[in-house]
Amino acid sequence: MRERIEIIEGDITKLRVDAIVNAANRSLLGGGGVDGAIHRAAGPGLLEECKTLGGCETGQAKITKGYNLPAKFVIHTVGPVWSGGNRNEDKLLSDCYRNSLKLAAENKVRTIAFPSISTGAYRFPFERAARIAVQTTLDFLSKNPMPEKVIFCCFGREAYDTYLKIFDELYKE
């Protein structure tokens, strides 16, 4: 199990993996943050395909091709907007990871990279989000052979340090 999870610091648009996950909004028509970076790097074909998808509900996920990205696919998921923690935000964020991993497995994705969903414009507290990301992924991988590898792509040193700390807390041999 340990070898199926990797924590790195970097820009997710540069990763040569089967799928990268996009922290999108319900329209799936682009935005700022990692969503903007992914659309810029993928080129206009990505938006054209996204227009055909009819949006996406919070906690759900949809898949497209990667166009000019080094990644073959983009899995678009919509995280919850943080509004204090009493609006089912934890469960919805966990759904994002679980549904993205499920969609990846269905599409024979072997390696997938996640950004930290909801922790930018949507203001989810970072440590709390990292704990949900890691725990949901550990649960999924313990029950499923695919994807073979999950990468948490941390944007900046502080994010990276937090993920390492949370992983050490949650991972038991």
Instruction: Tell the smallest beta-carbon distance from residue 95 to ligand AR6 (Å).
Output: 14
Stretch that binds ligand AR6, among 31-39, 54-62, 66-74, 104-112 (CB under 6 A): 31-39
Within 68-107, which residues bind ligand AR6 (CB under 6 A)?
79
Closer residue to ligand AR6 in complex, CB, 68/144: 68
What's the CA gap between 12 and 115, in Å, rounded?
A: 7
What span, in angstroms and rounded, lies between the C-alpha atoms of 123 and 14? 24
Under the criterion CB under 6 A, does residue 66 sit at the interface with ligand AR6? no
Structure-token pair, residue 145? 């052979």
Binding of residue 163 to ligand AR6 (CB under 6 A): no
Choice from 17, 24, 92, 166 touching ligand AR6 (CB under 6 A): 24
34-68 as b/e: b if 16+ CB within 10 A: bbebbbebbeeebeebbeeeebbebbbbbbbebbe
The answer to the question of residue 47 lying near ligand AR6 (CB under 6 A) is no
Which residue in the set 18, 35, 89, 95 belongs to the binding site for ligand AR6 (CB under 6 A)? 35
Residue carrying the six token digits 């992914």: 38
Sole binder of ligand AR6 in the list 58, 99, 100, 118 (CB under 6 A): 118
User: Element (H or E) spanning 78, and its range?
Assistant: strand 73-78
Give Cβ neighbours of residue 116 (< 8 Å, ≥ 6 apart).
23, 126, 129, 130, 133, 152, 154, 155, 159
Q: Which residues are part of the catalytic machinery? A: 35
Applying CB under 6 A, the residues found at the interface with ligand AR6 are: 11-13, 23-25, 31-35, 37, 79, 115-122, 153, 155
